Amino acid sequence: MVPEGGRASLEAKHIKVFLDFKSLGIRQSQVVFKIQEQPVRGQIRLDVDPDQEENTFSMLDLWHGRVMYVHGGSEEPDDFFMLSMFCNSRKQVPDYLKDNRLYRYNITVTPTNDAPELSLPEGNLFVLLENTKKCLTTEVLKATDIDSNRTELVFSVLGNLNADAGHLEIESNPGKAVTSFSHADLDEMRVYYVHTGIRNSRIVLRVSDGEKVSNTVVLRVMAVTLEYEIANNTGLEVLQGEVAVISSKQLAVKTNAVKQVIDIRYDVTEAPQFGELQRLHSSVEGVTLSDDELFYRVLTIPKKGKLLLDSEVLTKNSTFSQRNLTDLTVHYVLVDRPFEDTTDRFKFQLVSKHAQSQNSDFQFSIKADINNVFIKNEGLSLLEGESKLITQDDLFAETLGTKDMYYTVISSPRHGKLARITQSNSNASYDNIFFFTNQDILEERLMYIHDDSESTQDDFSFIASTSQEFKSSIAENEIGSKEGRFNISIQLVNDHKPIRIIDKVFHVVKDGQKLLTVEDLRYHDPDSDFDDGQLVYTRRGIPVGDLVLVNDTTHQLFQFRQSDLEDKKVLFVHKAFWTSAAQDPFLKVGNNSGLLVQKGKSVTFSNRIFSVVSNLDIRHDKEVIFTLDEAPKFGGLYFNEAKVESFTQHDLKEGIISYRHDDSKHLADYFNLTVKVKGLELKQRVAVKVYLESHQRPPIVLRLESLLVDEGKPVKIDDTKLEVTHEDNLPSEIVFSVKVAPSHGFLRRFVEGEKRYIGNKHSPVETFTQDDINSGNLQYVQVEPGRANDSIVLDATNGVTVVGDIRMSVDIIPLLIPLHVSNFTLKEGASKALTEDVLRVTNRHFTGINFFYSLTEPPQHGHVEHSRHPGVPVTTFTRRQVEHEFIYYVHDSSETLADQFTVVANDTSLRKQSSPQTLFVDVTAVNDESPVITANRVLRVWVSSVTEIGQEDLRAEDLDTSPDELHFMVTPPSNGHLALKSAPMRPVLNFTQAHIDQGQLLFVHKGAMSGGFSFQVNDGVNFSPRQIFSITAKALVLSLEKNGPLKVFPGSSTPITNDDLQAVTNDMSNTSNRIIKFNVIRPPKLGRLVGKQPDGATVDISTFTQDMVDRKEVVYVQSAVESVGWEAMDSMTFSAASPPASLDWSNLQNRNLL
Q: What is the pLDDT of residues 7-39, one digit of tens each?
A: 999 888 888 877 777 777 788 888 888 998 888
Name, in order, each residue with C-beta under 8 angstroms of 54's C-beta and a sequence gap of 6 or more: none
Note the CATH number of domain 117-224.
Answer: 2.60.40
Q: What are phi and psi of 747, to 5 degrees?
A: -100, 140
Q: Average per-residue pLDDT in the chain?
A: 88
- Which of 145, 162, 150 is CA-nearest to residue 222? 162
Rounded distance between C-alpha atoms, residue 841 and residue 913, angstroms: 12
Note the CATH number of domain 289-368.
Answer: 2.60.40
> CA 838 from chain center: how many Å?
40
**What letter would DSSP give residue 617?**
-
Specify the CATH class of 1038-1153 in words. mainly beta
pLDDT of residue 736: 96
Rounded distance between C-alpha atoms, residue 572 and residue 546, angstroms: 6
Contact 671, 686 (CB under 8 A): yes
CATH 2.60.40 applies to domain 592-691: yes
Alpha-carbon torsion, ordered 522, 523, 528, 533, to 10 deg: -50
Rounded distance between C-alpha atoms, residue 81 and residue 69, angstroms: 10
Looking at per-residue confidence, does 210 or 414 come out higher? Answer: 414
Residue 100 has pLDDT above 80, yes or no: no
Q: What DSSP string describes 362-395? A: EEEEEPPPTTPPEEEE--EEEETT-EEE--TTTE
Residue 669 has pLDDT above 90, yes or no: yes
pLDDT of residue 170: 93
Q: What are phi and psi of 98, to 5 degrees?
A: -115, -30
Strand partners, 76: none
Query: What's the start-to-end Cα distance of the chain, in Å?
Result: 86
Contact 810, 788 (CB under 8 A): no
Name, in order, each residue with C-beta under 8 angstroms of 426's C-beta and a sequence gap of 6 or more: none
Average pLDDT (174-203) is 91
Confidence label for 1124 from pLDDT (cuts 50, 70 and 90): low
Rounded distance between C-alpha atoms, residue 372 and residue 397, angstroms: 10
pLDDT of residue 506: 86
Strands (E), 24-130: 31-37, 42-46, 56-58, 67-71, 78-87, 102-110, 117-119, 125-129
Fold of the 374-490 domain: Immunoglobulin-like (2.60.40)
- Which of 510, 515, 512, 514 is CA-nearest to residue 580? 510
Q: What are phi and psi of 207, to 5 degrees?
A: -130, 150
Count of beta carbons in the 10 Å neighbourhood of residue 1134: 23
Name, in order, each residue with C-beta under 8 angstroms of 904's C-beta and a sequence gap of 6 or more: 819, 853, 854, 856, 913, 914, 915, 916, 917
pLDDT of residue 354: 67
Residue 297 has pLDDT above 80, yes or no: yes
Contacts by 747-754 with C-beta closer than 8 Å and gap 24+? 747/717, 747/778, 747/779, 747/780, 747/781, 747/792, 748/714, 748/778, 748/779, 748/781, 749/777, 749/778, 749/779, 750/776, 750/777, 750/778, 750/779, 751/777, 752/777
pLDDT of residue 141: 93
Residue 771: which H helix or E strand, with range?
helix 770-774
- Which of 975, 971, 1045, 1025 is CA-nearest to residue 1003? 975
Rounded distance between C-alpha atoms, residue 507 and residue 582, angstroms: 7
pLDDT of residue 249: 82
pLDDT of residue 1151: 40
Q: What are phi and psi of 988, to 5 degrees?
A: -125, 150
Least confident of 85-99, 241-255, 1065-1079: 85-99
Rounded distance between C-alpha atoms, residue 472 and residue 584, angstroms: 76
pLDDT per position as a tens digit, 561-574:
999 998 999 999 88
Residue 650: which H helix or E strand, with range?
helix 649-654
Q: What are phi and psi of 650, to 5 degrees?
A: -60, -40
Domain boundaries, the chain: 2-110, 117-224, 289-368, 374-490, 499-581, 592-691, 697-813, 819-924, 932-1034, 1038-1153
> Omega into 1139 within 30° of 0, i.e. cis?
no
Of the chain, the percentage scoring pLDDT greater than 70 comes to 95
Residue type for position 321: S
Rounded distance between C-alpha atoms, residue 937 and residue 561, angstroms: 97
Q: What DSSP string describes 1072-1103? A: T----EEEEEE--SSEEEEEE-TTS-EEE-SE
**What letter would DSSP give residue 266?**
P
Q: What DSSP string describes 959-1003? A: TTS-GGG-EEEEPPPTTEEEEETTBTTS--SEEEHHHHHTT-EEE
Question: CA angle at residue 1102 from 1101 to 1107, to 5 degrees?
Answer: 75
pLDDT of residue 1074: 83
Residue type for position 657: I
Strands 680-691 and 595-598: parallel
Of the chain, the percentage scoring pLDDT greater than 90 comes to 49
Residue 414 has pLDDT above 90, yes or no: yes
Average pLDDT (970-982) is 94
Average pLDDT (483-506) is 86
Average pLDDT (273-297) is 75
Average pLDDT (947-952) is 92
Fold of the 697-813 domain: Immunoglobulin-like (2.60.40)
pLDDT of residue 1014: 94
* pTM listed for this prediction: 0.39
Average pLDDT (534-561) is 85
What number of CA atoms fall less than 13 Å from residue 414's CA on the CB side? Answer: 8
Strands 217-224 and 125-129: parallel
pLDDT of residue 425: 46
Name, in order, each residue with C-beta under 8 angstroms of 241's C-beta and a sequence gap of 6 or more: none
Confidence label for 89 from pLDDT (cuts 50, 70 and 90): confident
> CA 878 from chain center: how many Å?
53
Specify the CATH class of 932-1034 in words. mainly beta
Residue 658: which H helix or E strand, with range?
strand 657-661
Correct CATH for 819-924 of 2.60.40.10, 3.40.50.970, 3.30.360.10, 3.40.50.280: 2.60.40.10
Contact 824, 921 (CB under 8 A): yes
Confidence label for 976 from pLDDT (cuts 50, 70 and 90): very high
Rounded distance between C-alpha atoms, residue 1015 and residue 1023, angstroms: 11
Residue 823 has pLDDT above 90, yes or no: yes
Residue 639 has pLDDT above 50, yes or no: yes
Average pLDDT (586-593) is 92
Alpha-carbon torsion, ordered 665, 667, 668, 673, to 10 deg: 80
> Omega into 714 within 30° of 0, i.e. cis?
no
Q: What are phi and psi of 1111, to 5 degrees?
A: -90, 5
- Which of 1057, 1016, 1047 is CA-nearest to residue 1118? 1047
Strand partners, 902: 857, 918
